[in-house]
Amino acid sequence: MASAPASPVRVRFCPSPTGNPHVGLVRTALFNWAFARHHQGTLVFRIEDTDAARDSEESYTQLLDAMRWLGFDWDEGPEVGGPHAPYRQSQRMDIYRDVAQKLLDAGHAYRCYCSQEELDTRREAARAAGRPSGYDGHCRDLSDAEVEEYRAQGREPIVRFRMPDEPITFEDLVRGEITYLPENVPDYGIVRANGAPLYTLVNPVDDALMEITHVLRGEDLLSSTPRQIALYKALTELGIAKETPAFGHLPYVMGEGNKKLSKRDPQSSLNLYRERGFLPEGLLNYLSLLGWSLSADQDIFTMDEMVAAFDVSDVQPNPARFDLKKCEAINADHIRLLDTKEFTERCRPWLKAPVAPWAAEDFDEAKWQAVAPHAQTRLKVLSEITDNVDFLFLPEPVFDEASWAKAMKEGSDALLRTAREKLDTADWTSPESLKEAVLAAGEAHGLKLGKAQAPVRVAVTGRTVGLPLFESLEILGKEKSLARIDAALARLAA
């Protein structure tokens, strides 16, 4: 079969390196990546770092690290280069200066000398009179004499883009047809008085130069779309842009209390999910459901399955709710899907310092290999592994006082003594035999298995909940297990 021609789809992921990466950002990256891969198109990764006051190198490094951890790849951008390099806007300032000048020369933009104070006063007046309160076009057609006068006053102009006096209609890939009336989209600043170009200029200019065909981004940017479409038209006239891209705005993500999830919300910090031991594939699976679904009856899927099925026209415009419980449940399913060997490896960061409380030399690889399969069916996030296996590697169990109080009731000492006797003669290579022993001890005291095993579990592991008890006992071994029961009996006697 002849190979299909390379698809013309070119999308971009273009975050600003401010603060820590957050889940909203990841969802945007994911949808762009899936769209590019689905269409065998090109994903451009661009860094929008023109805001020197807010951007940081640390944040840039974190962004790249996060993208790699999530498993994304990109076809053009940092570390991989490409025909439109450089991909960091801070290294493209000459380009923007040049385009701004061309827009001025062609009359698509003009210098605005209004002071902030004047703008505020006129905005207030317009508001009071019930007129649209955006920029009023004051400097659109200044005479030479007026410009002279402003210059003489030492005013430093910004550059404003001249919006056309007609409605702008576009077909949003997610929301359908949207129209903006001219009175709601006033002329807007594209270059600061100090010469620094603004997002409003550099973002569409780079989309044009990098030949982006589809812009998929958050709904918060919807209101900038009519401006960008107008700017694109001007850029096309100037021979800078080829074609206006299609736009699709991804739904808002709502957090606690049905408020928009903000990037400052602790719940939205990607680092938090990494530290808690979410699998990238689990987190991405969940984030894909914020506005999209594979099918009505399949919540769990791989990224390959998502790529095969992803279509932006299936994205829902209504706000999506971020549900941590569901996110954890989906992650848990992905933990179950791992190959056991893979699971044992992915847990490593939580099995050593500074996370794990045991000494490195007390870690026992054979015990870990033996216990891992039992943990794999139970964890929601990988960080839970530490508490689940600490009884194997600490010299003494860490007694959780609430667990102790709950399990060690009147009569628990008698039960523990009987259990110890029966366990002493049980077959320690068989969890079934250990279970029989505890069951028999329970019977001797009129207790069902659940009640009988609670004190044994707390004596040996320190907690009332954990991995299956009899497998845990077998892995810990007879000598240590019985010594811990003795220690618990001594504690009860004290």
Q: Which residues are annotated as a binding site for ATP?
A: 263
Position among 10, 11, 14, 159 found at the interface with ligand GLU (CB under 6 A) = 14
Candidate ranges 12-20, 102-110, 140-148, 460-468; the one touching ligand GLU (CB under 6 A): 12-20
User: Minimum Å distance from CB 112 to Zn ion?
Assistant: 3
Q: Residue 26 or 452: which CB sits closer to ligand GLU?
A: 26
Q: Residue 48 or 384: which CB sits closer to ligand GLU?
A: 48
Candidate ranges 107-115, 201-209, 350-358, 381-389; the one touching Zn ion (CB under 5 A): 107-115
* Positions in 213-252 near ligand GLU (CB under 6 A): 217, 221
Residue with tokens 């062609």: 106
114 touches Zn ion by CB under 5 A:
yes
44 touches ligand GLU by CB under 6 A:
no
Q: Residue 220 or 314: which CB sits closer to ligand GLU?
A: 220
The candidate with the shortest Cα–Cα distance to 284, out of 304, 264, 267, 298, is 304
The candidate with the shortest Cα–Cα distance to 407, out of 443, 453, 374, 372, is 453
Q: Residue 87 or 470: which CB sits closer to ligand GLU?
A: 87
Q: Which residues are annotated as a binding site for Zn(2+)?
A: 112, 114, 139, 141
32 touches ligand GLU by CB under 6 A:
no
> Binding partner of residue 139 among Zn ion, ligand GLU, none, CB under 5 to 8 Å per kind?
Zn ion
Q: Residue 22 or 111: which CB sits closer to ligand GLU?
A: 22
String of contacts with Zn ion for each residue 126-145, x by CB under 5 A: ------------xx------
Position among 10, 16, 21, 452 found at the interface with ligand GLU (CB under 6 A) = 16
Q: 259 an active-site residue?
A: no
Active-site residue, selected from the candidate residues 102, 233, 242, 263:
263
142 touches ligand GLU by CB under 6 A:
no
> Binding partner of residue 203 among ligand GLU, Zn ion, none, CB under 5 to 8 Å per kind?
ligand GLU
User: Minimum Å distance from CB 229 to Zn ion?
Assistant: 23
> Binding partner of residue 44 among Zn ion, ligand GLU, none, CB under 5 to 8 Å per kind?
none
Pairwise CA distance, residues 174 & 416, whole Å: 64
User: Minimum Å distance from CB 232 to Zn ion?
Assistant: 24
Q: In sequence order, what are the residues at sequence separation of 6 or more whose Cβ sits closer than 8 angstroms to the Cβ of residue 81?
A: 87
User: Minimum Å distance from CB 59 to ligand GLU?
Assistant: 11
> Binding partner of residue 15 among Zn ion, ligand GLU, none, CB under 5 to 8 Å per kind?
ligand GLU
Catalytic residue ranges: 263
Contact positions toward Zn ion, by CB under 5 A? 112, 114, 138-139
Contact positions toward ligand GLU, by CB under 6 A? 14-16, 48, 203, 217, 221
